[in-house]
Amino acid sequence: MSYSLQDRILGSLVAAGMGDAMGAPTETYSRREIIAHFGGYVEKFEDPKDNPLVVGNITAEVTDDASQMFELAKAVAETGGHLTVEATARAIVRWSESYPKYYPRNAGPTTSRVIDDLRAGKDPVVLGQTGGFYGRGTSNGAAMRVAACGLCNPGDLDGAVNTAITSCVPTHGTQHAYSGAAAISAAIAEALTEQATVETVVEAAIYGCLKGELIGEKEARPAYGPYCLPLLHRALAAVDGAENMEEAIIQLDRNIGCNVDIQPTVACAVALFKAARGDWKKTILGGANLGGDTDTVACIAGMIAGAFCGFAEIDQQWYRTFKAANPALDLEAVAAALAAL
């Protein structure tokens, strides 16, 4: 099949959305609880009715993760790929006003604290660097919405890093968020290229992680907590030698874990992509079955794997189910707009 940038971009957005929807019913469960509750590992879209975090959702419906990703992608397209802090802030406010089902229900520990202040027109740079609460500025929201920052910079790792950092500023102005978001954005930018391999995508994630950290050390709030890069290396080492995806999931569960912090979430997302050898379905199913913040890690890992595989590789029956459950997310239109950049 011939290479198509638009196909790769759409693949990233769709796989991310599917990962979010696949992981929504399993969020907060441990890996063993997932097996017990669903009678084994999740292998398809499940009804989320038993999960209190997504009460009212239907099967294959997304949460805050993919809906924020969609709104930021629209902002990237609207700015011609030259995302600004102000445009990011407007996109976040627009998300809170456009998805009453997800906001405030699903807003994370960072975004939930800044929405009202952004609406009031307060300085987004100051807001993003405000601490005082556990998890503020270091939660994984900066990575879960970052897809378009890499998608508008195919092959340009530095551009992907810089755009990702801009998207962090209004909410996640910490060195950890800069590092984690930059790692995912750079991985996506590399995954879009025709010559990409699993190895070069992982290398790009490491590059972005380090560069984001270095910029964050100079410009961002120095938040507490472990740094993203050492955890990323640990996660990648944890899946080395795994005989299959189940073994990789077990190793990540035991050695890294996946809560709402950006450091382990990003580390697990990249490691899942590596363990799946880039396969989009294995990648998002791995995230949905890992335990913890499953919808977010599956969404982030899906961004990378979808960019690597492309939309043409996506299971079209799954896509029809997903699209019917999420009529507000016109991912085809946004993919076309991003490709046109």
Residue ranges for the known binding site are: 63-65, 293, 295-296
Backbone angles phi, psi at 314, to 5 degrees: -70, 140
Residue that the structure tokens 């997302």 belong to: 269
Instruction: List the one residue out of 62, 2, 53 whose CA is nearest residue 298.
Output: 62
> Any idea which residue has 């699903």 for tokens?
106
DSSP string, 145-214: T-HHHHHTSTT-HHHHHHHHHHHHTTT--BHHHHHHHHHHHHHHHHHTSTT--HHHHHHHHHHHHHHHHH
Question: Is 69 within 8 Å of 13 (Cβ atoms)?
Answer: yes
3-class SS of residue 105:
coil
The angle that helices 198-219 and 262-275 make with each other, rounded to 10 degrees, is 170
Binding residues for Mg(2+): 63-65, 293, 295-296
Distance of CA 319 to CAs 17, 44, 45, 282, 287, Å?
10, 12, 11, 16, 18
DSSP 8-state secondary structure symbol assigned to residue 139: B
Q: Is residue 23 within 8 Å of residue 287, measured between CB atoms?
A: yes
Q: What is the CA radius of gyration of the chain?
A: 17
Upper half-sphere CA count for residue 271 (Cβ side, 13 Å): 38
> What is the number of alpha carbons within 13 Å of residue 56 lying toward its C-beta?
7
